[in-house]
Chain A
Amino acid sequence: MIRPGRMFLKVICSFFKKPATSMYPFIKIEKPAKFRGKLKFYQERCIGCKLCMKDCPSNAITIVNVGQPAAQNAAGAEPQKPAEKKFEAIVDLDKCLYCAQCVDSCMKKALEATREFELASLDHKKLKVKI
Chain B
Amino acid sequence: MAKVTIPIGPQHPALKEPASFNITLDGEKIVHMTLKLGYNHRGIEKAAESRTYIQNIYLLERVCGICSHSHSSCYVQCVEDIAALEVPKRALYIRSLVGELERLHSHLLWLGVAGHEVGFDTLLMYTWRDREIVMDLLSMLTGNRVNYGINTIGGVRRDITKDQIKDILVAVDKLEEETKYYAQVATQEVTLAKRLSRVGKLSHEDAVKLGAVGPTARASNVDRDIRRDDPYAAYGEISFKVITDNHNDVYGRTLVRIGELLESYNMIRQIVKNIPDGPITVKAPRRIPVGEAVSRCEAPRGEDMHYIKSNGSDKPERVKVRAPTLANVQAVAKMLENGYLADVPIVIAAIDPCFSCTDRTTIAVKDGKKTRGLIEWKDLRKYSIEWYKKNEGIDLSKIKLQNEK
Interface residues of A, Cβ cutoff 8 Å to B: 1-7, 10-11, 20, 31-32, 34-36, 54-57, 97-101, 104-105, 113
Contact = CB atoms under 8 A, between A and B. Distances in A.
A99 B191 CA distance: 44
Contacts of B55: 55-57, 101
Given A11-B122, A32-B139, A57 B59 contact: yes
Interface of B: 51-52, 54-59, 122-123, 126, 129, 132, 139-144, 147, 149, 152, 157-158, 181, 184-185, 188-191, 193
Q: Main secondary structure on chain B at its contact with chain A?
A: helix
Contacts of A98: 144
- Looking at chain A's contact residues, the main secondary structure is loop
Contacts of A3: 188-190
A2 B142 CA distance: 42
B185 A7 contact: yes
Given A5-B189, A34-B140, 17 more contacts: A2-B190, A2-B193, A3-B189, A4-B189, A4-B191, A6-B184, A7-B123, A7-B189, A32-B139, A34-B142, A34-B143, A35-B144, A36-B144, A57-B56, A57-B58, A97-B147, A98-B144
5 contacts: A32-B143, A34-B140, A34-B143, A57-B55, A57-B56
Given A6-B185, A7-B123, A20-B129, A100 B143 contact: yes
B147 A2 contact: no
Nearest to B140: A32
Given A11-B122, A99-B149, A104-B157, A57 B140 contact: no
A113 B142 CA distance: 13
Interface centre among B54, B122, B181, B190 (most CB of A within 10 A): B54
Given A4-B190, A35-B144, A57 B132 contact: no
Contact of A7 (B56, B122, B139, B149): B122
Q: Which of A3, A4, A7, A98 has the most CB of B within 10 A?
A: A7
A31 B190 CA distance: 41
Contacts of B157: 104
Given A34-B143, A104-B152, A2 B158 contact: no
B58 A101 contact: yes
A6 to B, nearest CB: 4
A100 B142 CA distance: 11
Nearest to A113: B143
Contacts of B185: 6-7
A16 to B, nearest CB: 16
B144 A55 contact: no
Contacts of B139: 31-32, 35
Contacts of B51: 57
Nearest to B62: A97
B62 to A, nearest CB: 8
A79 to B, nearest CB: 35
Given A2-B188, A57-B58, A104-B157, A10 B149 contact: no
B143 A35 contact: yes
Contacts of A104: 152, 157
B391 to A, nearest CB: 34
A113 B52 CA distance: 22
B158 A34 contact: yes
B54 A55 contact: yes
Contacts of B59: 57
Nearest to B58: A57
B314 to A, nearest CB: 9
Contacts of A7: 122-123, 126, 185, 189
B140 A20 contact: no
A34 B140 CA distance: 7
Contacts of A5: 189
B150 to A, nearest CB: 10
A99 B188 contact: no
B190 A20 contact: no
B149 A36 contact: yes
B143 A97 contact: no
A69 B131 CA distance: 56
A100 B149 contact: yes
Contacts of A11: 122
A36 B149 CA distance: 10
A6 B143 contact: no
